[in-house]
């Protein structure tokens, strides 16, 4: 679904980030949910380099995404996914096992998988030149593989985590695709196939293209060339 500047639902995103982060910024998650559920949205861009002071009133740490839906403001990507799914009528009924499964897997993605993935990203990418990084990686990888093995076992032969495709899969696939070393995920064939299924969905492809589009327009190097 194309972005609609008249939409009531607004997603705040960064106008530009360095290349290594492009396609990984977390506004991709609510964008993906809107695309899956056919909800129009508009975008408010802010600078990731010089974050405007007023934005901290919306998001205390100046991060994205922040979603505004009429008078309702939501920060943290998990909260935005729940809000969007509820708005679209895509969450199972309150009190049902189906709803409990979706929410359990959603929170598992953020609490039981993402911290270990991000620690690996920090070690392998952001802190790779530090003396401690090569010493930390073996034990970190062992722990990460243990987490992924448990996830793979829980997934079993199902296509998606909680029955039908849901916001839990948006969260989990977004996190797993952030692994900077393809060999880590390749060691877990079922999870690699799971991420492939998720990221080949047309809704994901549209959300990714929408996130990437402003980065070329606001690329600082191009702006300097045109100055």
Give per-residue pLDDT as tens, 27-80. 999 999 999 999 999 999 999 999 999 999 999 999 999 999 999 999 999 999
What is the model's pLDDT at position 222? 75
pLDDT at 226: 54
**Is there a domain that residue 1 lies in?**
no
pLDDT score, position 70: 95
Is 188 inside a domain boundary? Answer: yes
User: Number of folded domains in the chain?
Assistant: 2
137 and 168, same domain (yes or no)? yes
When mean pLDDT is compared across 21-25, 70-74, 194-198, 222-226, the lowest value belongs to: 222-226
Report yes or no on 4 lying in a domain: no
Shared-domain flag, residues 31 and 109? no
- Residue 147's domain is classified under what CATH number? 1.20.1050.10
189: pLDDT strictly greater than 80: yes
- pLDDT grade for 223, boundaries at 50, 70 and 90: low
92 token code pair:
């199972």
Q: What is the mean pLDDT of the chain?
A: 95
Instruction: Tell me the two tokens of residue 181.
Output: 């070393």
Range of the domain at 113: 97-201
Distance in angstroms (rounded) separating the CA atoms of residues 215 and 93: 39
> Is 110 in the same domain as 139?
yes
If 0-12 CB within 10 Å is exposed, 13-18 middle and 19+ buried, where does residue 9 land?
Answer: buried
pLDDT at 168 over 90: yes
Helix (H, G, I), strand (E, B), or coil: what is residue 72?
A: strand
- Specify whether 18 is located in the same domain as 82: yes
82 and 167 co-located in one domain: no
């Amino acid at each position: 679904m194309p972005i609609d500047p008249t939409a009531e639902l607004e997603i705040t995103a960064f106008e530009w980030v360095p290349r290594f982060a492009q396609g990984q910024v977390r506004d991709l998650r609510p964008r993906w949910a809107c695309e899956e559920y056919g909800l129009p949205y508009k975008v408010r861009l802010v600078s990731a380099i010089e974050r405007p002071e007023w934005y901290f009133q919306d998001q205390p740490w100046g991060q994205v995404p922040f979603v505004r839906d009429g008078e309702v403001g939501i920060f943290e990507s998990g909260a935005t996914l729940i809000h969007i799914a509820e708005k679209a009528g895509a969450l199972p009924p309150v009190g049902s096992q189906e709803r409990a499964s979706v929410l359990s897997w959603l929170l598992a993605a953020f609490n039981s998988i993402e911290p270990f993935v991000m620690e690996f990203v920090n070690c392998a990418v952001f802190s790779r030149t530090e003396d401690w990084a090569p010493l930390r990686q073996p034990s970190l990888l062992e722990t990460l593989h243990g987490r992924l093995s448990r996830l793979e076992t829980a997934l079993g032969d199902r296509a998606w985590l909680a029955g039908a495709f849901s916001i839990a899969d948006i969260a989990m696939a977004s996190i797993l695709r952030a692994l900077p070393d393809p060999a880590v995920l390749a060691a877990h064939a079922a999870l690699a196939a799971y991420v492939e299924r998720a990221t080949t969905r047309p809704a994901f492809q549209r959300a990714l293209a929408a996130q990437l589009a402003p980065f070329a327009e606001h690329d600082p190097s191009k702006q300097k060339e045109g100055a």
